[in-house]
A and B are shown apart, each in its own frame.
Chain A
Amino acid sequence: MLHRPTITIATAVAMALAGMSSANANTLRWASSGDSLTLDPHAQNEGPTHTLAHQMYEPLLQRDMAGEIIPALATSWAVTDDPTVWRFTLRQGVKFHNGADFNADDVVFSINRTRAPNSAMKELLTSVVDVKKVDDYTVDLITEGPNPLLPANLTNQFMMDEDWTKANGAEQPQDFDNGGDNFAVRNVNGTGAFKLTSRVIDEKTVLTANEDYWGKDEFPNEITEIVYTPIQSAGTRVAALLSGEVDFIQDVPVQDLARVDGTDSLKVNSAPQNRTIFFGLNVGDEDLTNDNVDGKNPFADLRVRQAMNMAINRAAIQRVVMRDQSQPTGIIMPPFVAGWTEALDALPEGNMDGAKALMAEAGYEEGFTVTLNCPNDRYVNDEAICQAAVGMFAQIGINVNLDAKPKAQHFPLIANKETDFYMLGWGVPTFDSEYIFNFLVHTSSDDRGSWNGTRYSNPEVDSMIVSLGSEVDLEKRAGTVAAIWETIQSEVIYLPIHHQVLNWGMANNIEFPVQPEDQPHFKFLTYAQ
């Protein structure tokens, strides 16, 4: 307040400020680009929605700020003598925000709710056939076959209070076509470290620390109140941080990093994200619809793919397009994922002469023309990366027409197999290679390969991928994973570009490492003394 029109206002403001500093010593004002879509923890499978849900609801086990699995509502878990049964021991003495006790009935109810037809989370639990209460604090999850990686699929499956949910008629996750409203969309009763105080969609969500949280002493829990505001416009978001109106923002645009970091009261924390950006090629069709080569598919020729892989100057993309905020890579697997090795991540050798020779050998000395589909509002500088790549492919005679569209129009092209050459980014929530294989490598069919826009189909690889789902011998499993990666790398069906880097901007007194899934869990946040 520089101008104080009247004494009364000045006094009122002074009083308000005094009140704030004592009562809300640690209010965190947090902004990110997109609001949570719904408070119903099973109605949307989407990053910002999970981020908000994680503050108030809890899964049986969760990922910490380093991405490691830690106990949450379950204290321990293990496969029983029957390899198809996982047994979870639940934490005792946990209370929901409304005071109700948490026990096995709630787990059975919640797991069944996530498996309901309307649930957005059901695909992560397709291997589960039943969930059984053993006693009040023990629950068995029964899977179709042995599933050694079940815990990794539970990190975003939140636990709700059975009585509360049923009493409010929200047994089922929201159904869009019924015209039905759902109580759980606007109300929260979780076990998490924060309670919902108020929420106006796209405007402001206020959370207050849960005084009865079971993990009071286990985690720092230094924040007393969170005020969450989505700010869509990147410029405004940064301005709000610079002017001190917010304390913490996710997604600092790369062009503003220096400005934020150069401000005395602010800092930027960076870390690689669990997401890799790459191009996919239609290698399976007889002929391409979006090229100028008749009767042939140039991408079906391994030499062309190898040449393209060699032509991409990843270091230049990192330096010029990404302003160093990326990690160039030679594989479509983020470094956090089981199966990742440094050797696999090594960059393909950039060699223009070699690439041109391969093109000539494949009979495309004169090159060809093809359309590249690219999103323009999904990944960091997505369209600019594509533009850079267009120039690089031109050097080996491939004339690329760039078609950049908003994500809502881009992704259906991949899902409906209408593109021959596209950009895609992939994050791996289970932190395991199998997830990548299931969606990107397996032949596109009803239940697998939904994001495999390459039309690549290798029955041998497919059967190896299916075998991973029930392989209990972890050493043998790792061997199969390595074998599949070897095939994919030698076939070059994808052209990897880089791993994205996350940048969180925050006030100087906040100590908060970047979480690889872009999931800030605020109970871990501490303030510098």
Chain B
Amino acid sequence: MKYTTFNQKTTDTMKEPMFFGDPVNVARYDQQKHPIFEKLIEKQISFFWRPEEVDVSKDRVDFQKLTDAEKHIFTSNLKYQTLLDSVQGRSPNIAFLPIISLPELETWVETWSFFETIHSRSYTHILRNLFSNPSEVFDDIVVNEEIKRRATDISKYYDDLIFYTQLYQTRGEGVYTIDGETHEVNLRVLKKKLFLCMNSVNALEAIRFYVSFACTFAFAERELMEGNSKIIRLIARDENIHLTSTQHILNLWMKGKDDPEMAEIAKECEQEAKDIFLLAVSQEKEWAKYLFKDGSMLGLNEEILCQYVEYIANQRMAAIGMGQPFNVKGNPLPWMNNYLTSDNVQVAPQETEISSYLVGQIDSEVASGDFEEFEL
């Protein structure tokens, strides 16, 4: 089935599944099969921000004062986050857009990816300010073994889905031998790859950012690197919305509210999906170990950080029906919530009344009685 950028066939998007139906033709939102995606688009756009709006100049002075161990923690985290957003800035577009069949979902994926590119640009903004030659930091991302190992696990599900989609859309169903490897391509196999890929993306958005978020906010608790922390808060807010979208997609499938075949696959791959999540959790814990190899930082150590990862994992796994596999009682880093609260994200003074500021927002509902007590 060849991909077309404008499907000439008349389709009823109310009857299409989210993925692998007819390609989208008209980008219309007057009727929606899953209205949640348009609501997420609206919310996400209301969060628009630019890295350059945040002043990071004071961070340069703070950075010089950090110990070598702390400098290692700080730059390693930025490298890892740069990797994550490099992947997320392009992959949802390339992997999902060619197989999406609902206009609202298509636009959501594009909006999502766009915000990941803002995140990528903000890392350059931060690093340019800290280093006279930031290219050393960027160059290390592709050679650093610790980061490379994570990159493999993050990108492999995307790559697999993209490759099979390419085979399917150019040659159709069948068995193909390419470079000595045999690939069986059919819709069922593709849907299974999509399901695993979505689980991997969900785990990425749910877990993989949180060790570095915790470190950033731990610096901010000591009133260090506050410009950076402001940027990361905006990023954390966006990632929360992205996570909500992958949770919705997974739950729509699992509860049989979309493609019935995906509900079957979700059951079939239940354990595999859970393993993907648990692998992400253990990799985050290993990351904490790597960060603190030269020494920990004030207010944070490997043990408490690992407990926090488990605490977050419990919540995130429960949200997609995977139960709560870890035994953690209470939030081990309660101050994290102050940084993850949407209302506390600092915005322009005129916007402080409402965190998702809408341009030109007015209350047009004025009752005749509203001015009763008003006197000139």
- Chain A bound to chain B: no
